[in-house]
């Protein structure tokens, strides 16, 4: 019997739902138990599918982790844009430490951080995740340059300063939970960026990058 377009769409929807369930299950498991404490059986059980079904959709755990990185990034970028449109937060460069802080410390952001850290001792994981992370950074870099100018080297430096400062503070928030101090550090980073780039773009930072130490 021929498969109708409607049936094909239904199968595609089921596939997408299963993949999303596995990604979300991986995020929750890694956040609760850490990357090393999370295995494929646990992820499959949380997603409500068999381990074989999980491997059918992603092939390997490393491939699933790469998709977690991509999925989280796309969700974060969509949320940043929604916040910017709704509140205006994000129109200036010095808005971004606060904006990043509101998102990167969530379970999804912390799960990605654990995955990235695990690539150091897992060659298979690194082979799947590192190229995905590099692609994510390139996409973010294009957005950053489009919004605030700067050449690629400068934009990448500023982006990494902000993102990894916030990621580091998100680790501190988890293991040294002094919320007021961590939020004060975020506010300080924003103020430093505002002083260095008072017009809210990267243009003034280009001159700083040319100064000799």
Domain boundaries, the chain: 1-59, 61-199
Question: Taking all residues of the chain, what is their mean pLDDT, rounded to a whole number?
Answer: 91
**Whether the predicted pLDDT of 4 surpasses 80:** no
Q: Are 59 and 45 in contact (CB under 8 A)?
A: no
pTM for this predicted structure: 0.86
96 vs 98: CA distance, rounded Å: 5
Confidence of residue 176 (pLDDT cuts 50, 70, 90): confident
> What are 131's two structure tokens?
């190229």
pLDDT (average), residues 52-80: 94
Helices (H) and strands (E) in the chain, counts: 10, 0
- Nearest CA among 73, 74, 93, 71 for reference residue 24: 71
Q: Which two tokens stand for residue 210?
A: 């040319």
Q: Is residue 173 over pLDDT 50?
A: yes
| Stretch 184-213: mean pLDDT | 87
Closest CA to 35 of 137, 119, 97, 143: 119
Mean pLDDT, residues 17-30 taken together: 96
- Beta-carbon contacts of residue 194 (< 8 Å; ≥ 6 apart): 92, 94, 200
CA neighbor of 169 nearest in space, from 149, 199, 189: 189
Whole-number pLDDT of residue 50: 92
Residue 177, pLDDT score: 74
In this prediction, residue 213 has a pLDDT band, given cuts at 50, 70 and 90, of very low
Instruction: State pLDDT tens for residues 89-140.
Output: 999 999 999 999 999 989 999 999 999 999 999 999 999 999 999 999 999 9
Q: Does residue 202 contact residue 196 with C-beta atoms inside 8 Å?
A: no
Q: Shortest CA distance to 93 belongs to which of 184, 167, 163? A: 163
CATH T-level fold of 1-59? Arc Repressor Mutant, subunit A (1.10.10)
Those residues whose C-beta lies under 8 Å from the C-beta of residue 114, and which sit 6 or more positions away, are 30, 34, 35
Query: What is the pLDDT, as a whole number, of residue 5?
Result: 55
Residue from 154, 156, 129, 151 nearest 140 by CA: 156
SS3 content of the chain, % helix, strand, coil (to 5): 80, 0, 20
Place 14 in a pLDDT band, splitting at 50, 70 and 90.
Answer: confident
User: What is the C-alpha to C-alpha distance for residues 127 and 185, in angstroms, rounded to an integer?
Assistant: 34
E strands, 56-208, where?
none
Stretch 27-44: mean pLDDT: 94
Q: What is the 3-state secondary structure (H, E, C) of 160-173?
A: HHHHHHHHHHHHHH
């Amino acid at each position: 019997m021929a498969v109708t377009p409607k049936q094909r769409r239904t199968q595609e929807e089921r596939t997408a739902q299963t993949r999303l369930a596995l990604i979300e299950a991986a995020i929750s498991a890694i956040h609760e138990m850490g990357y090393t404490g999370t295995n494929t059986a646990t992820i499959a059980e949380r997603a409500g599918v068999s381990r074989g079904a999980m491997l059918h959709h992603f092939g390997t755990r490393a491939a699933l982790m790469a998709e977690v990185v991509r999925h989280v990034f796309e969700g974060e970028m969509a949320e940043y844009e929604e916040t910017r449109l709704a509140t205006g937060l994000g129109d200036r460069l010095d808005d971004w430490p606060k904006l990043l802080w509101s998102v990167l410390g969530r379970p999804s952001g912390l799960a990605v951080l654990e995955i990235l850290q695990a690539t150091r001792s897992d060659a298979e994981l690194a082979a799947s995740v590192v190229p995905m992370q590099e692609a994510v950074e390139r996409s973010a870099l294009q957005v950053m340059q489009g919004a605030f100018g700067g050449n690629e080297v400068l934009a990448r430096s500023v982006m990494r300063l902000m993102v990894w400062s916030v990621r580091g503070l998100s680790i501190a928030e988890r293991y040294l939970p002094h919320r007021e101090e961590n939020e004060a550090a975020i506010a300080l980073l924003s103020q430093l960026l505002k002083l260095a780039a008072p017009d809210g773009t990267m243009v003034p930072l280009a001159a700083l990058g040319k100064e000799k130490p």
